[in-house]
Structure 1
Amino acid sequence: MPNHQPPGRALRARDGVVAQVVQPDAPGGRPPTGQTPPLRCLPLPRRVHDGDPTVWAVGGDEAAAVDLPAGPVLVLGPPGSGRSRSLTALAAAAGGAALLVEGSDPPSEHDLQARLQHLDSGDLVSVDDAHLIAGTPVEDLLVSHAARHGARAALHVAAELEGAGTAFRGLLPQLARSRTAVVLQPGMPGDGAVVGARPPVGDLPVPGRGVLVHRGRTTRIQVVAPPPGRGGQRLGEVG
C-alpha cells in the first residue's frame, strides 16, 4: 500500500479490491434531474425460500433471481457448504433431472450405460459426490456422455472443492471446459482456478452461499432452500 492515499480510498481485505468511497455533494441530496440514480447494492439473505421452482438462487447487486446456467455446470465446495442442495435447486429450476447418480452409492456400469443410451443432450443428468467415483467405470461412462454432447450437455456435477483444480482427467476436467461453476464458500481466490476465475472470498459460511462463475465472470449468490424431495430420481428407482 502507498504511504499516502486520497480521502475515501479503501482496500477490501477479503480479496484486495481497491475502492473509492463516493462523497455526496450535500447530505441527503438527490441526484440532479436527468442523471442516473446511484447504484443500490443489497445484501444477500442468509436463507432463501421461494415458491417459484424456476428460481434456484438470488444474487448480484440487487439480490435478484439468477438465470439458470445452460449446458454443463460444476458445483464445487467443501463439506457442509450446500453442494447437494445446490444440485437439487438447479435440477428443480430445470424441471427435474432425468437421472440422478449418487457417488456415495453408484449404479452398476451396465445399468448406467443402459440409461445413458436413451438420453439426449437436453435430458438433465445430476451427479452428486462425483469425487467418490473418480477413476471408476461409472465415471468413464459419464465422461463419454459429456464428451458426446459437448457444450449442449445438460449435466450438473457436484464434488468436493479440494483437489478439483489438480485433476487432469475424469469428469471434473471435462466439465471445467464449459467454464461454468457454482463455487460454494470459496476460501481463497485460487478456488475458482478450475474454471479460470478468481472468486471473492470472506463471505458468510452459510450453506448455499457462494459464487456463480460463467466464463470468468463472477456473481455472488445464495442458493434457495430446496423443496422436499430430490431434484431427480436415482438410477434403479425408475421403471
Structure 2
Amino acid sequence: MIDDVCALVDSEIEESLARYAAKASSTGAVVVASGDIDQLSGNYRGLVGELRRRGTGVLLMPSRTDGELFALRCPKLDRPRPGNGFLVHRGELTELQVAQVAAPARSSPDGPGDESSCTESG
C-alpha cells in the first residue's frame, strides 16, 4: 500500500516499486496506491504509469474528466456525497459507496459516552 504515490516520482525507490508492480499480477500480489488525480493524470511513466496500465482503481467524488486516468469518462453520479465514486476495472465502471465508520463514543468514569465528567489531571 502506497499513500501519495506521486511523492515517489523520481525517487530512489520508484524504479524498484515499478518493477514490483509490473510483476504483481502474475504473482497474485496487489499494489494499492493513492494520489491526487491532477498529479496522476499527467504521469505516464515509472510507477504511476505502471499502475495506470493495470486499468483498475477507485475514483472518489470524480468529475466527468477524472476517468481519463483510465481512458474513459465518468458519468454524473446520481447522488454525489463523500465516499461516493466508481470502481474501475478494465474499462468497466461500477458505482460504489465507501463506508465511513463512526468513531466510538469515549468512555468516562461515569459510563460510556458520558463526556461531561471527564477531567484532565496534570
Instruction: Identify the residue that residue 143 of structure 1 maps to in structure 2.
Output: 18
Q: Distance in 2 between matches of 1:205 and 1:172?
A: 27
Structure (1/2) with the larger helix percentage:
2
Instruction: Identify the residue that residue 169 of structure 1 maps to in structure 2.
Output: 45
Q: How many residues align?
A: 101
User: 1:214: Cα distance to partner?
Assistant: 1.0
Query: Relative contact order (C-alpha < 8 Å, sep 6+): which is higher?
Result: 1
Question: What letter matches 1:222 in structure 2?
Answer: Q
Structure 1 residues 184 and 148: CA distance shift in structure 2, 3 A: same
Do structure 1's residue 209 and structure 2's residue 84 form an aligned pair? yes
Do structure 1's residue 183 and structure 2's residue 85 form an aligned pair? no
User: TM-score scaled to structure 2, two decimals?
Assistant: 0.71
Structure (1/2) with the larger strand percentage:
1
Q: Cα deviations across residues 30-88 of structure 1 (Å, max 9, x unaligned)? A: xxxxxxxxxxxxxxxxxxxxxxxxxxxxxxxxxxxxxxxxxxxxxxxxxxxxxxxxxxx
Structure 1: runs of 5+ lacking an equivalent: 1-125, 229-239
Q: Distance in 2 between matches of 1:136 and 1:160?
A: 17
Q: How does 1:1-239 map to 2 (within 5 A)?
A: 126-150=1-25, 152-187=28-63, 189-202=64-77, 203-206=79-82, 208-225=83-100
User: TM-score scaled to structure 1, two decimals?
Assistant: 0.38
Q: Distance in 1 between matches of 2:30 and 2:101?
A: 20
Aligned-pair identity (%): 30
RMSD: 2.1
Q: Distance in 1 between matches of 2:5 and 2:68?
A: 18
Deviant stretches of 4+, over 4 Å: none
Structure 2: runs of 5+ lacking an equivalent: 104-122
